[in-house]
Amino acid sequence: MRSRLEIIYTILEICTEASRKTHIMYEAKLSYVQLMQYLNWLIETNLIAVENDNYVTTPKGIILIENLSQSSYGTSSGLLLKLVRSERAIPSEEELQNMRKGIQGFLELRNIVSSKWTGHPTTLEEIRRSRDRGT
């Protein structure tokens, strides 16, 4: 029995070439009801698009296929993790730059606060200190 993720992966591969429902159904070995459930979900998550009554894997879906085929995920949980990560919108270069600035600002603020902190050390700080002392 195949997992849902294996079926999703199969459908995405089939649709790398524009395909009609019947072709996908037979190639993926699904009933019509099952196929429609998967196609609706894949369309909602922007992994497949409909073009002239054909289903086509989107660039986001192709990225997912490539990532999954380059990696060996022996479990459904590994595939699920990859699928969940791929569902996030791919940020533009400008958004990535803004994220980097935000992260850098956070790290600078953390360093300032850490250097001026006079209260009790956190558990993490205690662990770091004990490692530095070699104990």
In total, how many domains does the chain have? 2
Same-domain status, 50 and 102: no
Same-domain status, 83 and 20: yes
Residue 129 clears pLDDT 90, i.e. is over it: no
- Pick the range with the lowest mean pLDDT from 51-55, 82-86, 90-94: 82-86
Can you tell me the distance from the alpha carbon of 90 to that of 62, in angstroms, rounded to the nearest whole number? 13
Is residue 65 very low, low, confident or very high in pLDDT (cuts 50, 70, 90)?
confident
Full residue range of the structural domain in which residue 39 is found: 4-87
Smallest CA-to-CA distance from 36 within 17, 55, 51 is with 55
pTM score above 0.85: no
Same-domain status, 23 and 41: yes
Same-domain status, 111 and 57: no
Can you tell me the distance from the alpha carbon of 57 to that of 14, in angstroms, rounded to the nearest whole number? 8
Same-domain status, 69 and 99: no
Q: Do residues 76 and 3 lie in contact, with contact meaning Cβ atoms separated by under 8 Å?
A: yes
Same-domain status, 11 and 61: yes
> Residues 7-48: pLDDT tens digits?
888 999 999 999 999 999 999 999 999 999 999 989 988 889
Q: At what angle do helices 4-14 and 76-87 cross, to 10 degrees?
A: 50
pLDDT of 20 reads 96
Same-domain status, 64 and 103: no
